[in-house]
A = this chain, B = another copy of it.
């Protein structure tokens, strides 16, 4: 059931080739993928999902690489999902499949997947969420989700991850302040990477100032620690992992782990419902009649809300 081709069974048994094919299926969506996800779902909910985000050039990829090495050193299995939204219209990945993680290749305790953008934020978020579920189900204990770029996609990923690491680098100027302000709100752990460069202490102090302002309002809440790293040589990376573990413990003890899980499930259920309901309605009404409505709206004969009400009612 839900496993016509045996992929799910094979993937759960640890076959890498089956896992890779299963992930491709899930990325593409469709009936087979949904059946597979249904079969996998009871096995999910065990992984710690960690989002890593930050400004371009902050050294996120290197940090992810080093974090994976630290985890492997502790015998922890790691899935890495690299989300690349650089080309939203074409769906082409700018960096292609990552060759950077050579140190980790050949290790069965690591699985790395690059994702191209699916053209819409909704599509990418759906696909990323489903790929995380597959890696979770087959037993990867920690899943590192890295996003390139900055913006709304980071916020979506923060909602998927249990813990979000925001990476900054010194000397990126106040020009990214607006950006930082948005990112700081989603940070559970703050990392000033490239800490061997001038200005690292200043950057850390600036971040601390913002954190202190926020913390004043929220007694007893998690206060994001600010850590300095030189990811290129691994310096400070074990401490980043310790902070992530401390955050996980905080989530567990405060009951936030469960309540955030419920919020994630609700968001996902609503997203699936939206797409399902739309697809069924479009199928019922038929492509031609939908295009007639589009023409009438484009000609200003009817507004979009009235049209929608008619389509649903009719």
Residues of A within 8 A of B (CB): 34, 37-38, 41-42, 44-45, 55-57, 85-90, 94-95, 121, 148-156, 172-179, 181-182, 185-186, 258, 261-262, 265-266, 268-270, 272-278, 280-281, 290, 293-295, 297-298, 300, 302-309, 311-312
Asked whether B94 lies within 8 Å of A181 as measured between CB atoms, the reply is yes
Chain B, Cβ-Cβ closest to A186? B89
CB contacts (< 8 Å) of A297 on chain B: these are 265, 268-269
B272 and A274 form a contact (CB under 8 A): no
**Nearest-Cβ distance from residue A146 to partner chain B, whole angstroms:** 12
What's the Cα separation between A121 and B276 when bound, in Å? 20
Q: Are A57 and B305 in contact (CB under 8 A)?
A: no
Decide if A173 touches B57 in the complex (CB within 8 Å).
yes
Contacts of A307 in B (CB 8 A): 269
Number of copies: 2
Contact call A281/B277, Cβ cutoff below 8 A = yes
Residues of chain B contacted by A175 (CB below 8 angstroms): 55-57, 172
Q: Please report the C-alpha to C-alpha distance between residue A153 and residue B85 in the assembled complex, in whole angstroms.
A: 12
9 closest Cβ pairs, A-B complex = A151-B151, A57-B175, A41-B303, A277-B277, A274-B274, A272-B308, A38-B303, A121-B152, A152-B152
